[in-house]
Amino acid sequence: MMIEYEEYLAATSVAEATQALANGNVTVVAGGTDLMVQTAASGRGVGTTLLNVRRIADLRGVTVDGGRVTIGALTTITDMLTDGVVADTAPVLAETADRFASNQIRNMATVGGNICNASPAGDMIIPLMVLDADVELSSWVDGAVATRTVALNEFFTGPGKSVKTANELLTSVSFNRPAEGFVGQFGKTGPRPALEISMVSVGVGGVASNGSLTNARVVYGAVAPTPIRASKTEAALEGTSLDDASIQSVLDVADSEVNPISDVRASDWYRRHLVRVMTQEVLESVANV
C-alpha cells in the first residue's frame, strides 16, 4: 500500500511538536525503524501530516538528577550501549541494547519509539519495567506544554496500543537509581542472538544478597498481549534462597502466569517451554552474583 502524506514537519522543540500534534491527524516519526515497515505493509499510523521529532535535541541523552535517572525519548539504542550514566546506574539497559537488532538499526531506533510501538516483544521495555520506570507524556494544553506521568507497567493496553493519546508525545522515561546491590538480567530468545524479534524475553531484577533477591521484579515479553510484570512469580521469588528446588517452584508459578499465543515465530507450547528455560537461566545467573 503506497502512502502519501500531505504535509511534512520537522519540529525542533517539544512546544512545536505538541502544537502540531494538537492539530490532529499527525503521525510521529522518530527513528522510523518500526513506522516505515508498518506503513509500507499496512498503512498503520498514517495521518495526513508526518511529524519528524528527531531534531528535538533536548529529547536525546541520559541524565541523573539526585536519585532519578532520565532517558530522553530520542535516545538511540546505540546511545544506551555507550552512555556512561547507563553503564553506571543500570547496566542491564546496555546489556539489552547489545541484544537489539544490528548496528544500522540501533543507530536509528529510539527508546521512545520502542515504547510507543507498544509491541509485546519490544526489548527495551522489559528492563525498564524491571526498573519500575515511568514515562512522561507531553501535550499542548491552553497555550503551553503540559505533562503527565504514567507508570510503564500501566502504559500498555494491547498489541500496538497504549494509554498515550494521539495528541501526546512521549518525551522521556525515568526511574529511581537502583539500590546498592541491585542486579538486573535480561534474556531473549530468537533463532539468532540479536537482529531478531524476541520469541520470548525475560527481565529479572532485585537486590541480591546471600543467594536470594529482595524487591524482586520479573517481567516477560511476547507471552501476553502486552509486556507483563509477573507479580505472583515476584512474590514466589521474594527472599527465597535460589537453590535448585526453589527455582523449580518459581518456574511453576511463572508457567501459571504467562499466556502465550502461537504465531509465525513460535507455538504457545514452545513459548511456555522457553519461559521455563530462560527464567531458570536468569535466576541461576542471579544466584551466582
Ligand X SMILES: Cc1cc2nc3c(=O)[nH]c(=O)nc-3n(C[C@H](O)[C@H](O)[C@H](O)COP(=O)(O)OP(=O)(O)OC[C@H]3O[C@@H](n4cnc5c(N)ncnc54)[C@H](O)[C@@H]3O)c2cc1C
Instruction: Spell out, one character per residue from 149 to 188, where the chain touches ligand X: x when CB under 6 A holds, - when not.
Output: --------------------xx------------------
Q: Where are the alpha helices (DSSP H) in the chain?
A: 14-22, 35-42, 77-82, 84-89, 91-97, 103-108, 111-116, 125-130, 231-237, 244-257, 268-287
CB of 79 to ligand X, least distance (A): 12
User: Exactly one of 3, 9, 10, 105 binds ligand X (CB under 6 A); which one?
Assistant: 105
153 closest CA partner among 66, 231, 75, 215: 231
Q: How far apart are alpha carbons 183 and 228 in whole angstroms? A: 19
Residue 26 as a binder of ligand X (CB under 6 A): the answer is no
**Amino acid letter for position 228:** I
Task: Determine if 33 is a binding residue for ligand X (CB under 6 A).
Answer: yes
Q: Considering the complex, state which of residue 110 and residue 189 has its C-beta at the smaller distance from ligand X.
A: 110
219 binds ligand X (CB under 6 A): no
Among 18, 75, 89, 117, binds ligand X (CB under 6 A): 117
Interface with ligand X, residue 242, by CB under 6 A:
no
List b or e across 197-219, with b for residues whose CB sees 16 or more CB atoms inside 10 angstroms.
ebbbbbbbbbebeeebbeebbbb
Which runs of consecutive H residues, i.e. helices, occur in 123-263?
125-130, 231-237, 244-257
Question: Per the structure block, which three cell numbers stand in for 34?
Answer: 518500526
Among 14, 20, 34, 178, binds ligand X (CB under 6 A): 34
Interacting span for ligand X (CB under 6 A) from 3-11, 107-115, 257-265, 278-286? 107-115
| Binding residue for ligand X, selected from 69, 109, 133, 236, defined by CB under 6 A | 109
Please, what is the minimum distance in Å from the beta carbon of residue 261 to ligand X? 18
Distance of CA 279 to the CA centre of its chain: 18
Residue 99 burial (10 A CB sphere; 0-12, 13-18, 19+): middle
- The least distance separating ligand X from the CB of residue 100, rounded to whole angstroms, comes to 4
Binding mask 49-78 for ligand X (x = CB under 6 A): ----x-------------------x-----
Contact between 20 and ligand X per CB under 6 A: no
Are 49 and 5 spatial neighbours (Cβ–Cβ below 8 Å)?
yes
Is the Cβ of residue 1 or residue 245 nearer to ligand X in the bound state? 1
The whole-angstrom separation of Cα 116 and Cα 118 is 5
Given the rule CB under 6 A, which of 85-93, 110-118, 147-155, 176-184 is the region that contacts ligand X? 110-118
Give the sign of the dihedral formed by CA 237, CA 115, CA 139, CA 16: positive
Give the nearest distance from C-beta 36 to ligand X in angstroms.
Answer: 6
- Tell me if 3 contacts ligand X by CB under 6 A: no
Task: Give 175: exposed, middle or buried? Use CB within 10 Å, 0-12, 13-18, 19+.
Answer: buried
DSSP state of 239: T
Q: Any contact of residue 112 with ligand X (CB under 6 A)?
A: yes
In the list 20, 29, 62, 228, the residue contacting ligand X (rule: CB under 6 A) is 29
Q: Which residues bind ligand X (CB under 6 A)?
A: 27-35, 37, 45, 53, 73, 100-101, 105, 108-110, 112-114, 116-117, 122-123, 169-170, 195-197
